[in-house]
Amino acid sequence: MQRWSRFNIASIVLGFAFLYLPIVLLVIFSFNESKLVTVWAGFSTKWYVQLFHNQALLDAAWVTVRVGLISATVATVLGTLAALAMTRYTRFRGRMLFSGMIYAPLVMPEVITGLSMLLLFVAIGFDRGFWTLTLAHITFTMCFVAVVVQSRLLSFDRSIEEAAMDLGATPVATFLQVTLPVIAPAVFSGWVLAFTLSLDDLVISSFTSGPGATTLPMRIYSQVRLGVTPEINAVCTILIGIVAIGVLIASVVSRRREIQRVKDEQAAFAH
Amino acid sequence: MKSLGSIRRSFAPWADPTSIPFIAVKNVTKKFGDFVAVDDLSLNIYPREFFALLGASGCGKSTLLRMLAGFEQPTSGEIVLDGQSLAGIPPYKRPVNMMFQSYALFPHMTVENNIAFGLKQDGMPKADIAERVDQMLKLVKLDKFAKRKPHQLSGGQRQRVALARSLAKRPKVLLLDEPLGALDKKLREETQFELMDLQQELGLTFVVVTHDQEEAMTMADRIAVMAHGKVVQVATPPEIYEAPNSRFVADFIGDVNIFDGTVSAVGNGTIEIATETGFTVRVASTEPPAVGAKAGFAVRPEKIRVGRDQPACAPLNAAQGEIWDIGYLGDMTVFHVKLKDGKVIKASSLNAVRAVEDPLGYDQEVWISFDENAGVVLKD
């Protein structure tokens, strides 16, 4: 038996408190009766009700979801193609430069990414709005997809593609029937990552969006500048809930799959 | 199966100058950068032949197989299949199929979909596909596993799925890359014979790559021993074993004792070699080297007799020594005999009777001897 020393208990409590205390406070105060964020005045769900009458906030949420869906999908296609190019064609000229350029946005300060895109859109006279926002999100989420898919492709057994071609599948058929289904989980997690990043983003969005294309993080930020209301807490609680459910489902599914795989393998070798 | 045996014995198209090779590899060279994987190699493989490419890893055998499949293109030279040049033809248009070393099963498809994959690419009608898949499953005795995924199968079952999948399209040639490498010994031996039966039954041409000489000897009609991108010898298993054409082949296949020396006499279909070990060997030779030439003499352990008494042929083909080591293997016993000059040779004898009275023991003074046709002359 392991003994729990006081030190261990203290570090765990402090660690979790550090991570979750702010979130817990936010959730609690979203159910606060009072308009004052820091004073508890009894339980109420009125801020949630009010939330659904706040048209500006709902519009912002809708913009965010649309930008997220479009940009995540396009970024997934582009990121997967980039990952394929980098793992498959290891000897083309300028490969180092190419892969470096794909990864640069990962470490580039968002302010710089946002500013540079703003300058570009202004320079080419592209009116800022929904589409500039979406383009900017595609650009910065694509590299995350490329990284996720590339790590899957590195452990990919190329001989199954050769087997497919050997059996008469053209390169395109091989990609669609063999490569893509096998790397699909990685492509999907790339998509989820891109979608989440797009939902969260404030800095790049602020630079690249225009009138009529305000995202939820931007709306929340601008409201907070006028003073924190419990309504914001309610929005955030809903967001936390959605994210938590997503994470929960993903981990339950992968856990189940793992258990099933182990069972299958045991069954196979029992023969 | 009896009739197959008799066909087998008379099957030797390579000896018939009028027979047309099914696969002709003509002066093929393959370079990867500066590295020459296959070096100006020429080979003929005949219809219905079970042909083995045997060699250590890196000898170019897998590269040659991949060129047959179309995954690599020759740097120079040409491969002709059934009268048609394969140059520039991509893998998916070649009438050959390959069984991969890793099996390369599609992990996201069931066994039956794996087998049906190639047929679907050809646009075969669904009913025909179902029938063919069924037939292939029965052939490899996996009918009960049709709905399983590859990870739900044992290694031996996966190997069968890979085989069934590569045979489903009825290719003209089946290429097998280390087909039994991942199986354990017992399963491997069983599967060797199953593969041979299958090849006979289907009347296909098999080209197998292996590093396992026992596997090659058991299964193949002919073996090409490869080294450094070249073919050293192409011959039937008995020829490879009993008449190796070079020191490399003699040493590579099985156990061998090699005595170096100088040719001291030639005549009457035999030559005599004065060995560096001190005794003289008289050996049958059809193409004798000149007197005074350097030559080696190779003799297999099982062709050497070990006994206490001086053999009648002494001093020719006989030498004295002492027993240095004894390895009892059950079916036979291996003796290591240290000759007078310190050279240790290997001799093996079959344990045909259960108990030998007064068996040979350690440090015993013995004579080794062999017949005039027991070994071969190596000129290199």
pLDDT of residue A210: 84
- Hey, are the CB atoms on B92 and A271 less than 8 Å from each other? no
Chain B residue closest to A170 (CA)? Answer: B92
Q: Which two tokens stand for residue A98?
A: 């190419």
Which pLDDT belongs to residue B9?
A: 56
Does any CB of chain A come closer than 8 Å to the CB of residue B173? no
pLDDT at B183 over 50: yes
Q: For tokens 């036979």, name the residue.
A: B332
Whether B199 and B279 map to the same domain: the answer is: no
Q: What would the mean pLDDT of B79-86 be, rounded to a whole number?
A: 92
Query: Cβ of B163 under 8 Å from any chain A Cβ?
Result: no
Whether B227 and B266 share a structural domain = no
pLDDT at residue A38 tops 90? no
Which of A155, A159, A161, A167 to mutate against chain B (most B CBs within 10 Å)?
Answer: A167
Judged by CB atoms closer than 8 Å, whether chains meet at B92 and A169 is answered as yes
Encode pLDDT of A160-194 as tens digits. Answer: 999 999 999 999 999 999 999 999 888 988 898 89
In the predicted structure, residue B287 carries a pLDDT above the cut 70: yes
3-state DSSP of B32-68? ECCEEEEEEEEEEECCCCEEEEECCCCCCHHHHHHHH
How far does A168 lie from chain B, in Å, by closest CA? 4
User: Which residue in chain B is spatially nearest to A161 when comparing CA positions?
Assistant: B104
The answer to whether the CB atoms of B151 and A165 lie below 8 A apart is no
Kindly list the distances between the CA atom of residue B42 and the CA atoms of A267, B37, B78, B229, B234, in Å, as whole numbers in the listed order: 47, 14, 9, 11, 11
* Closest CA of chain A from B234, distance in Å: 27
Quote the CA–CA distance of B180 and B189 in Å, as a whole number: 9
Chain B residue with CA closest to A260: the answer is B152
CA angle A27, A29, A33 (to 5 degrees): 135
Which tokens is B151 given?
A: 């990870």
With CA atoms as reference, the chain A residue closest to B101 would be A159
Residue B151 reports pLDDT greater than 60: yes
Nearest residue, CB atoms, A166 vs list B98, B122, B157: B98
* Average pLDDT value for residue range B271-279: 88
Structure confidence at residue B341 (pLDDT): 85
For A98-140, what is each residue's pLDDT tens digit? 777 777 778 888 899 899 999 999 999 888 889 999 999 999 9
- Count of domains in chain B? 2
More confident residue, B281 or B182: B281
Question: Greatest CA span in chain A, whole angstroms?
Answer: 72
User: B121 contacts in A (CB within 8 Å)?
Assistant: 167-169, 173
The predicted pLDDT at position A99 comes to 76
> What angle (nearest 5°) sits at the alpha carbon of residue B243, between those of residues B295 and B322?
65
Predicted local confidence at residue B139, as pLDDT: 86
Window from A28-32, B26-30, B119-123, B324-328 with minimum mean pLDDT: A28-32
Is the same domain home to B240 and B362? Answer: no
Is residue A232 within 8 Å of B119, Cβ to Cβ?
no
Domain end, chosen from B186, B215, B248, is at B248
Give percent of chain B with pLDDT exceeding 70.
98
B186 and B264 together in one domain = no
Chain A contact probe: residue of B99, B106, B159, B209 with most A CBs at under 10 A: B106
Provide the b/e sequence for B209-226 (b: ≥16 CB within 10 Å): bbbebebbbbbbbbbbbb
Mean pLDDT, residues A30-44 taken together = 82
Chain B residues lying within 8 Å of A257, measured CB to CB: none
Q: What is the band of B300 on the pLDDT scale with cuts at 50, 70, 90? A: very high
CATH of the domain at B316: 2.40.50.140
Give residue B24's pLDDT: 93
Q: Looking at residue B133, what is its pLDDT?
A: 94
Q: Is the pLDDT of residue B4 over 60?
A: no
Kindly state the average pLDDT of the residues B335-359.
Answer: 87
My answer on whether B223 and B368 are in the same domain is: no
Count residue pairs from A and B with Cβ separation < 8 A: 77
Distance, first Cα to last Cα, chain A: 38
Average pLDDT of the residues in B364-378? 90
Q: Where are the beta strands (DSSP E) in chain B?
A: 23-32, 35-45, 50-54, 76-81, 84-85, 96-99, 173-177, 205-210, 222-227, 230-235, 257-267, 270-275, 280-284, 294-299, 305-307, 318-328, 332-339, 344-350, 365-369, 375-378
Same domain assignment for residues B196 and B67: yes
Quickly state the pLDDT bin for A269 (edges 50, 70, 90). low
Question: Final residue of a domain: which of B230, B248, B266?
Answer: B248
Residue of B nearest to A181 (CA): B108
The alpha-carbon gap from B104 to the nearest alpha carbon of chain A, in Å, equals: 5
Answer whether A166 sits within 8 Å of B91, measured CB to CB: yes
Q: What is the pLDDT of residue B6?
A: 46
Query: Of the candidates A169, A177, A268, which has its C-beta nearest B152's C-beta?
Result: A268
Q: Chain A partners of B105 at a C-beta cutoff of 8 Å?
A: 160, 163
Q: Which of A170, A182, A265 sits opposite B92 (nearest CB)?
A: A170
What sign results for the dihedral spanned by CA atoms B106, B107, B110, B111?
positive
Which CATH number belongs to the domain containing residue B22 in this structure?
3.40.50.300
Which pLDDT tens digit goes with each residue over A239-263?
888 888 878 887 888 788 788 777 7
**CA B313/CA A37 separation, integer angstroms:** 113
Q: Where are the domains of chain A?
A: 54-232
Measured between beta carbons, the chain B residues lying within 8 angstroms of A168 are 92-93, 118, 121-122, 169
Judging contacts by C-beta atoms under 8 Å, the chain A residues touching residue B70 are 166
- Read off the pLDDT of each residue in B125-145 and give the average, rounded to a whole number: 91
The Cα–Cα gap between A188 and A193 comes to 9
Q: Report the distance separating Cα B76 and Cα B31, nearest Å.
A: 9
Contact (Cβ atoms closer than 8 angstroms) between residue A148 and residue A191: no
In this structure, are B67 and B173 located in the same domain?
Answer: yes
**Quick check: B69 contacting A, CB < 8 Å?**
yes
Residues from chain B that touch A163, judged by Cβ atoms under 8 A, are: 98, 100, 104-106, 165
- Taking only residues 95 to 134 of chain B, the set having a beta carbon closer than 8 angstroms to any beta carbon of chain A reads 96-98, 100-102, 104-108, 117-118, 121-122
Q: Which of B121, B142, B167 to mutate to test the interface with A (most CBs of A within 10 A)?
A: B121
Q: What is the mean pLDDT of chain B?
A: 89
pLDDT for B26 equals 93
User: Do residue A268 and residue B102 have CB atoms under 8 angstroms apart?
Assistant: no
* Domain carrying residue B259: 255-378
Most confident by average pLDDT, A220-224, A260-264, B16-20, B106-110: B106-110
Six-digit token string for B376: 């071969």
Q: What is the pLDDT of residue B3?
A: 43
- Chain B residues close to A166, C-beta within 8 Å: 69-71, 91-92, 96-98, 166
Q: Which of B148, B152, B163 best tests the A interface by mutation, with the highest count of A CBs <10 A?
A: B152
Question: The complex's ipTM?
Answer: 0.81
pLDDT at B1: 37
The pLDDT of residue B163 is 92
**Contact (CB<8Å) B121/A167:** yes
Q: Calculate what percentage of chain A has a pLDDT beyond 90.
A: 33
Say yes or no: domain A54-232 is CATH 3.30.70.2740: no
Taking the CA of residue B166 and the nearest CA in chain A, the distance in Å comes to 7
Q: Note the pLDDT of residue B11.
A: 82
What is the least distance, in Å, from the CA of A259 to any CA of chain B?
Answer: 13
